[in-house]
Amino acid sequence: MKIGIVCYPTFGGSGVMATELGMALADKGHEVHFITYNQPVRLDFITHRLHFHEVVLEEYPLFQYQPYELALSSKMVEVVEKYQLEVLHVHYAIPHAYAAYMAKQMLQNKGVNVKVVTTLHGTDITLVGSHPTYKTAVEFSINMSDEVTAVSKSLKEDTLRLFTIEKEIEVVYNFINSEKYDLQHEDCKRSTLAADNEKIITHISNFRPVKRATDVVKIFNKIQKEVPSKLLMVGDGPERLKVENLVKDFQLEEKVLFLGNSSEVERILCYSDIFILPSQTESFGLAALEAMAAGNAIISTNSGGLPEVNIHGQTGYLSEVGDVNTMAANTLEILKDKKTLSRFKENAKNHVKDFSLQKILPVYEEIYKRCYKNKDSSCDSLKLQ
Ligand code: GMT
């Protein structure tokens, strides 16, 4: 099929997921066109089946804010027409679902029918989307999509609670390409980062307040007093300075490494024993899934979709948001016993199989086919047949 993918090209989970999906679809023989303002960070190759179309914004002095939605919807129209795309799969509702609706209307006016699949990722619903500033437009564009998917059961429930939704929402979990995480031992030399007796703990995020990255440092401060260990902080964002200052306050500079953004997290996660995700809210937690694929036990909060990914007492532990004492105690329980640590690591690797590329990719393909087969009417009516 010919599929357009619209996403944020950054290190956020929705962009990562959209990029991995696009690359996997192209691998399976589909023609995939990314439409966004930069080449997605994880898009590591361009082939005859994988294209990137840049949305260029012209500065104009009248505009205090550049009208990205307009530029994006115009680009979508251009690419759909030129390459005869059948489906536009937009990741993250704001503003992508809205721009896709406009593109669809403009194309219909020209006699071209394209289907719109919207995937909800999390903050587009829970934090930003439901804010009164955006709510009406987000609700409208979700309802106007031909198909709507959410990355966890929890996110589906949140969407139904926060909006008036007339569309069926299908839960399609985020997936992982486990092959990337089966690194050979020589690719992953722990000795470059830590001494033999030290454990390695990792956190990856965009350092936004919702990630509560300062909690990671508070937890680590307690852990390192009892178990020799290092903390790897991966990513960048608004709270990084605050986190770095806390590391200084605790005098942990020798034990905490800030590695910045990385497009090859598997090369970092392979060193690590435990991954900490103390988020305030998290619709899925793709970073935790990636860590599990690399054999990390997970210490996380029980918010949002995290309990669907991290199984309490098996792949790691869940705690209330902000309960750094319990999170530290749980981490120590795992780290202090070799057998417990390897059991959790093994369980984590096994659980990831439920979120494999092989399982999830056909689900999206089926959604696209269902839409396209029914191209002259809404996809929902097909479900009723
Ligand atoms: O975490 C963020 O704020 C970034 C956001 C995004 O745009 O990528 O992440 C959301 O989508 C990811 C991919 O589906 C999920 O794994 C994250 O849990 C979700 N973040 C939140 O719900 C906070």
Pocket of ligand 1, candidates 157, 282, 309, 310: which has the most ligand atoms within 8 Å of its Cβ, to mutate? 282
Residue 11 confidence (pLDDT):
83
Q: Is the CB of 14 under 6 A from ligand 1?
A: yes
Tokens coding 212: 């509560």
Q: Is the CB of 281 under 6 A from ligand 1?
A: yes
pLDDT one-digit tens code per residue, 3-39: 999 999 988 899 999 999 999 999 999 999 999 999 9
Residue 377 confidence (pLDDT):
63
Answer for the pair 115, 147: CB distance below 8 angstroms, yes or no: yes
Q: Is the CB of 286 under 6 A from ligand 1?
A: yes
CA–centroid distance, 47 to ligand 1, in Å, is: 28
pLDDT of 173 strictly over 60: yes
Could you give the strand order of the β-sheet that contains 297-301, starting from the edge strand earlier in sequence? 256-260, 229-234, 199-204, 274-277, 297-301, 316-319
Estimate the crossing angle of helix 213-226 against helix 240-249, to 10 degrees: 30
Q: Is the CB of 92 under 6 A from ligand 1?
A: yes
CA-CA distance, 217 to 247, in Å (whole number)? 7
Minimum CA distance residue for ligand 1 atom 12: 13
CA–centroid distance, 284 to ligand 1, in Å, is: 7
Partnered with residue 232 across adjacent β-strands are 202, 257
CA–centroid distance, 108 to ligand 1, in Å, is: 32
Query: Which DSSP category does 314 fall into?
Result: T
Answer for the pair 85, 58: CB distance below 8 angstroms, yes or no: no
CA-CA distance, 353 to 348, in Å (whole number)? 9
Minimum CA distance residue for ligand 1 atom 9: 13
CA-CA distance, 196 to 264, in Å (whole number)? 24
pLDDT one-digit tens code per residue, 286-308: 999 999 999 999 999 999 999 99
Q: Is the CB of 289 under 6 A from ligand 1?
A: no
pLDDT one-digit tens code per residue, 34-71: 999 999 988 877 677 999 999 999 888 899 999 999 99
Pocket of ligand 1, candidates 283, 289, 300: which has the most ligand atoms within 8 Å of its Cβ, to mutate? 283
pLDDT one-digit tens code per residue, 342-373: 999 999 999 999 999 999 999 999 999 998 77
* Predicted model pTM: 0.93
CA–centroid distance, 304 to ligand 1, in Å, is: 11
Minimum CA distance residue for ligand 1 atom 7: 14
Q: Is the CB of 123 under 6 A from ligand 1?
A: yes
Overall size of the chain counted in residues: 385
Report the nearest atom of ligand 1 relative to the CA of 15. Answer: 8
The more confidently predicted of residues 264 and 40 is 40
CA–centroid distance, 328 to ligand 1, in Å, is: 24
